[in-house]
Structure 1
Amino acid sequence: MKATLLIELLTEELPPKSLAKLGLSFREQMQKALSEAGFIDAGNEGRWYATPRRLALQFDACLESQPDRVIEKKGPAVASGVGADGTPTKALEGFMRSAGVEFAQLEKLSDGKAEYFVARIKKTGERIDMYLPDMMEAALKKLPVAKLMRWGAGEAQFVRPVHGLMLMHGARTIPGKVLDLDSRNVTRGHRFMSVGVIDIPRAENYEAILEKEGRVIASFDKRRAMIVEQLDRAAGQLTWLRDEALLDEVTALVEFPAVYEANFDVEFLAVPQECLILTMKANQKYFPLMDGSKLTHRFLVVSNMKVADPINIVTGNARVVRPRLADAKFFFETDKKTPLSARIGKLSRVVYHNKLGTQGERVDRLVKLAAAIARRIGADAMQAEQAALLAKADLVTDMVGEFPELQGIMGRYYALADGEPAVVADAIQSHYQPRFNGDTLPQGHVACAVALADKLDALIGFFGIGQIPTGDKDPFGLRRAALGVLRILMETPLALSLPDLIDDAAAGFAPELFSGNWRAASADFFKERLRHMLRDAGHDPKAVDAVLALDPTRIDQVPAKLAAVKAFAALPEAEALAAANKRVGNILKKVEGAVAPGFDNSLLQEAAERALAAMLPVVKADAEAAFERGDYTASLQALAKLRTPVDAFFNDVMVNAEDPALRANRLGLLATLHNAMNRVADISKLSS
Structure 2
Amino acid sequence: MTTENLLVELFVEELPPKALRKLGDAFAQGIAASLGSQGLLTSDSAIQGFATPRRLAVHVSGVLDKAQDKPVSQKLMPVAVGLKDGAASPALLKKLASLGLDESAVAQLKREGEGKNEALFLDGVQAGATLAEGLQKALEETIRQLPIPKVMTYQLETGVDLPGWDSVQFVRPAHGLVALHGASVVPVHALGLQSGNTTHGHRFEAKVSQIVLEHADRYAEQLREQGAVIAHYDTRLESIKSQLQAAAAQVGQGSQPVQDEALLEEVNSLVERPHVLTCQFEEAFLQVPQECLILTMKANQKYFPLLAADGTLTNRFLLVSNISPQDASAVIEGNERVVRPRLADAKFFFDQDRKKTLASRLPQLDKVVYHNKLGTQGERVERVRAIARAIAGSLGVDAAQADLAAQLAKTDLVTDMVGEFPELQGTMGRYYALNDGLPEPVADAIEDHYKPRFAGDSLPRGDVGVVVALADKLETLVGMFGIGNLPTGDKDPFALRRHALGVIRMLVEKAPQLALADVLAHVQASFAGRIPAQTEFSDVTASLSQFIYERLAGSLREQGYSAQEVDAVLALQPQRLADVAQRLQAVRAFAQLPEAQALAAANKRVGNILKKAGGAVDAQVKQELLQEEAEQQLYAALQAVAPVAQAAYATGDYTNSLQALAALKAPVDAFFDSVMVNADDAALKANRLGLLKTLQEAMNRVADLSRLAS
SS in 2 for 1:420: coil
1:290 aligns with 2:307: yes
Q: What does residue 538 of structure 1 align with?
A: 560
Distance 1:634 1:106, change over 3 A: same
Task: Give the one of 127, 139, 147 matched to 2:142.
Answer: 139
SS in 2 for 1:339: coil
SS in 2 for 1:10: strand
1:248 aligns with 2:265: yes
Distance 1:88 1:515, change over 3 A: farther
Compute the displacement of 1:567 (Å).
2.2
Distance across 2 between alignment mates of 1:499 and 1:93: 78
The correspondence of residues 196-235 of structure 1 with structure 2, limited to 5 A, is 196-235=209-248
Distance 1:545 1:99, change over 3 A: farther
Distance across 2 between alignment mates of 1:514 and 1:460: 16
1:368 aligns with 2:369: no
Q: What does residue 50 of structure 2 align with?
A: 49
Distance 1:615 1:83, change over 3 A: same
| Letter matched to residue 259 of structure 2 | R
Distance across 2 between alignment mates of 1:533 and 1:42: 41
Distance 1:321 1:666, change over 3 A: same
Distance 1:77 1:678, change over 3 A: farther
Contact kept in structure 2, 1:78 and 1:108, CA below 8 Å: yes
Contact kept in structure 2, 1:387 and 1:450, CA below 8 Å: yes
The correspondence of residues 33-182 of structure 1 with structure 2, limited to 5 A, is 33-40=34-41, 46-79=47-80, 81-82=81-82, 85-86=85-86, 96=96, 102-110=105-113, 114-149=117-152, 150-152=154-156, 153-182=165-194
Contact kept in structure 2, 1:434 and 1:441, CA below 8 Å: yes
Distance across 2 between alignment mates of 1:33 and 1:508: 60
TM-score (structure 1 length as normaliser): 0.95
Deviations 1:464-498 (A, max 9, x none): 11111111111111111111111111121332222
Distance across 2 between alignment mates of 1:537 and 1:513: 41
Distance 1:99 1:475, change over 3 A: farther
The correspondence of residues 510-659 of structure 1 with structure 2, limited to 5 A, is 510=529, 511-512=531-532, 515=535, 517-659=539-681
Deviations 1:284-340 (A, max 9, x none): 111122222211212221222234443333222222211111110110000000111
Deviations 1:88-107 (A, max 9, x none): 66776666566666544443
Distance across 2 between alignment mates of 1:134 and 1:527: 49
Distance 1:593 1:141, change over 3 A: same
Contact kept in structure 1, 2:44 and 2:62, CA below 8 Å: no
Distance 1:504 1:118, change over 3 A: farther
SS in 2 for 1:668: helix
| Letter matched to residue 255 of structure 2 | L
The correspondence of residues 194-343 of structure 1 with structure 2, limited to 5 A, is 194=206, 195-236=208-249, 237-291=254-308, 292-343=310-361
Residues 503-512 or 460-469, more deviating? 503-512
Distance across 2 between alignment mates of 1:628 and 1:113: 71
Distance 1:513 1:14, change over 3 A: farther
Q: What does residue 11 of structure 2 align with?
A: 10
Distance across 2 between alignment mates of 1:307 and 1:198: 22
Compute the displacement of 1:514 (Å).
6.5
TM-score (structure 2 length as normaliser): 0.92
SS in 2 for 1:133: helix
Compute the displacement of 1:43 (Å).
8.4
Compute the displacement of 1:143 (Å).
1.3
* Structure 2 unmatched ranges of 5 or more: 157-164
Distance 1:116 1:461, change over 3 A: farther
Distance across 2 between alignment mates of 1:167 and 1:88: 49
The correspondence of residues 483-522 of structure 1 with structure 2, limited to 5 A, is 483-509=501-527, 510=529, 511-512=531-532, 515=535, 517-522=539-544
SS in 2 for 1:156: strand
Deviations 1:616-655 (A, max 9, x none): 1221111111212222222112212222322333334343
| Letter matched to residue 283 of structure 1 | N
1:358 aligns with 2:376: yes
Task: Give the one of 348, 364, 373 matched to 2:366.
Answer: 348
Task: Give the one of 425, 429, 436 matched to 1:418.
Answer: 436
Contact kept in structure 1, 2:83 and 2:92, CA below 8 Å: no
Compute the displacement of 1:243 (Å).
0.8
Distance 1:520 1:91, change over 3 A: farther
Distance across 2 between alignment mates of 1:602 and 1:74: 78
Distance across 1 between alignment mates of 2:576 and 2:655: 17
1:461 aligns with 2:479: yes
| Letter matched to residue 201 of structure 2 | G
Contact kept in structure 1, 2:444 and 2:462, CA below 8 Å: no
Contact kept in structure 1, 2:353 and 2:417, CA below 8 Å: yes
Q: Percent same amino acid at aligned positions?
A: 52
SS in 1 for 2:532: helix
Distance 1:37 1:643, change over 3 A: same
Task: Give the one of 205, 215, 221 matched to 1:193.
Answer: 205
Compute the displacement of 1:380 (Å).
1.4
Compute the displacement of 1:458 (Å).
1.2
| Letter matched to residue 339 of structure 1 | T
Residues 489-498 or 389-398, more deviating? 489-498
Distance across 1 between alignment mates of 2:242 and 2:217: 27
Deviations 1:22-77 (A, max 9, x none): 11122232233212212125885612111010000111111111111233444544
SS in 2 for 1:551: coil
| Letter matched to residue 256 of structure 1 | R
Distance across 2 between alignment mates of 1:45 and 1:528: 43
Residues 293-302 or 48-57, more deviating? 293-302
SS in 2 for 1:131: helix
* Structure 1 unmatched ranges of 5 or more: none
The correspondence of residues 470-485 of structure 1 with structure 2, limited to 5 A, is 470-485=488-503
Compute the displacement of 1:441 (Å).
0.6
| Letter matched to residue 5 of structure 1 | L
Compute the displacement of 1:659 (Å).
4.2
Distance across 1 between alignment mates of 2:572 and 2:635: 25
